Every structure is written in C-alpha cells, then in structure tokens.
Amino acid sequence: MALPIKQQAAIWGGIIAVFLALLWFLGDVILPFLTGGAIAYFLDPLADRLEKWGLGRAAATTVISLVALLVVVAGIFVIVPLLVAQATALIQSAPQIFSELQAFLTQQFPSLMDDGSPLRQSLVSVGQTIQARGGELLNTALSSAINVVNAIVFMVVVPVVAFYMLLDWDHMVARIDELLPRDHRPVIRQIAADVDRTLAGFVRGQGTVCLILGTFYAIALMVVGLQFGLVVGLIAGLLTFIPYVGALVGGLLSIGLALFQFWGDWWSIAAIAIIFQVGQMLEGNVLTPKLVGSSVGLHPVWLIFALSAFGAVFGFVGLLVAVPVAAVIGVLVRFAITRYQASLLYRGLEPPQDD
C-alpha cells in the first residue's frame, strides 16, 4: 500500500529543501563535483559510441580523457595567451575607440556633441570606466586563476571526478533506477527520459553549436583582419547558448570595432557583416536542427529567468544547475498539463456535444 499523498509530498519536499540547502551552504565545495558530473554527462554519448565500436568502457574513457587533455593543453599554450593579449588590448583601447566615436559624432551631429552635453560626457565616462574596471577585472581573474588554492584544486579535482563518473556512468544510472519508488517507477522513468531528452538536446546540442560557431567566428574574423577577432568570436559563440543573442551581440560589437579599424574600407566591413550572416544561416538551417532539434522545450525567456534566478541566489553553482532544473520543471509542467487535460477537472462529466 502506497503512502498517503500528503506524506509523499512532505518527504519529497524535504529532499528538495535539503538539496537547495546543500547548494547554499556547500556551493564552493561541491562546485568541482557538479562540474565534473556535467562534463561526464556531456561526454557519455561519445563513450557509448566508442563502446559500440568495440572498445571497453575503461578504454573509451581513457581515449576521451587523453584527447580532452591534449585539447586543453593546446588551448592553454596557444589560445589562452592570444585571448588574454587581445582582451587586454581591447580594454586598453576603449578610451581611444570612444574618443574616435566622439570625434565622428561631433563631425556628423555637432548639436549633439556640444561641450557639457550628456552624450559627450557619457562617451568619455564609458571609455574611462572600461579601461579602469576592465583592467582591474582582468587582473583579478588572472591572479585568482594562478594564485588562489581553490582554483588549483578545482583544476585538479574536476578532471578526476569527470573521469571516474564517466567510467561508472552506466552503473550509477542503473543503481539509481533500482532505488526508485516501486509504485511510481514507470512515471519517474518516463519523466526522467523526457528530462534526459531535453537536456541532451539543449546542453549537448547547444553546447556543440556554441563551440562550432565560436570557432567559426573567431577564425573568420581573424582571417578578415579584425583586431580583436578572437575575443569577439568567443563572446559571440558563448552567447549563442541563448538563441539570437550571440549573433546580435557579436555582430554589433564586431561591426562597431570594424567601423573604427576599417573606416572607408567598406569591403572589409561588409565581409564582417557577411560572416555573421553566414553564421546565422549555419545555425538556423544546419547546426540547430541537426544538433539541438525542434522539441527541446526550453523557451529562451524561461532559460534566461532560470539562469538569472539561480545565479543570483546560488552564485556560479546556481548557473551550473539552472539549466537542468529548468528542464526538470519544464518537463514536470508539461506532464502536469497532460494529466490535467486527461482528468475530469478539464473534461467534465458531460460528454462532448457536436456543434
């Protein structure tokens, strides 16, 4: 005989409360484990495919780890120094860029740029703020990544956790399945499958889209000769996680920088605009349909709200769990709506009458 609904609700409510309390009090401690788990979840399909090709689970995990290690090492020695150099140069160039923008606006719209006008003061203030705060932020991030012990522990623990969780992923899933309440096992399995499908479509698919587009934008902008192409390309790629935002922000930023660097060379400016048009075509017609699919069920507004709410309450740990929690809530809401539409509360007692 199953427990009464009130008791079940109290038990599961207590479990959720304990989970949220752990996020609140142990955020910094569990961050490497959550990150490692997210990496293992992301790479599990690749390990399954290698197993189908004849490798054992241990061999597949080892191959994936070695390839990931080579990619990270190459990134540290090749991409990171160039990225830091371009970010530093962009921050230092901010006052000059805004000064040139001020001169251009003064020439074209002299009435808007009189001495003491709000627009002129704002441009000067923005450039100085970016230079001061941006350099301070960059120096803080670099010193934290190098000197703080927590950062070192994070970089050591995350790969180890990811390796062991990827190695034992199928066993962990089977063990959790054995612990499911027997009365609700079919329903929980159905909901878990929907959540996994949503996360697989969004996190794995959208993450791959971000990686491909970020690489495309960065390489294409650098080939065209945009001074800060690597930084702008990576920013556009990362923001692609939120549909249309990456292309919009990256396109506006790159075209704005191109206007100062290539003023008068309209072909170069047009080439940069074409790069983002091509990126949008690839994303909308090839990458997103193939890698993400159309039935993910995570609306951009709901995603932005989840990231903002969990990030504000739980910090960086909240950002990591925001998408999974948003997917779970979305699946539960759709499940509840389906049950509601099949219930007497929605259908009523009267049979439907023909019009």
Is a pLDDT exceeding 60 seen at residue 11?
A: yes
- Using one digit for the tens of pLDDT, what is the confidence trace for 38-76? 888 888 888 989 988 988 889 999 999 898 888 877 777
pLDDT at residue number 145: 46
Helix and strand numbers (H, E) in the chain are 15, 0
Q: Rounded to whole angstroms, how far apart are CA atoms 315 and 328? A: 20
Q: Rounded to whole angstroms, how far apart are CA atoms 236 and 230? A: 10
pTM above 0.85, yes or no: no
pLDDT at residue number 14: 84
Is a pLDDT exceeding 60 seen at residue 137?
A: no
Distances (CA, A) of 153 to 148, 160, 336: 9, 11, 42
H or E element that contains 9: helix 5-25
For residue 103, which of 272, 258, 259 has the smallest C-alpha distance? 259
Helix (H, G, I), strand (E, B) or coil at 228: coil
Is a pLDDT exceeding 80 seen at residue 174?
A: yes
For residue 251, which of 215, 221, 222 has the smallest C-alpha distance? 221
Q: Give the long-range contacts of residues 146-155, CB within 8 A, separation 24 or more.
A: 150/28, 153/32, 154/31, 154/32, 154/35
pLDDT at residue number 121: 59
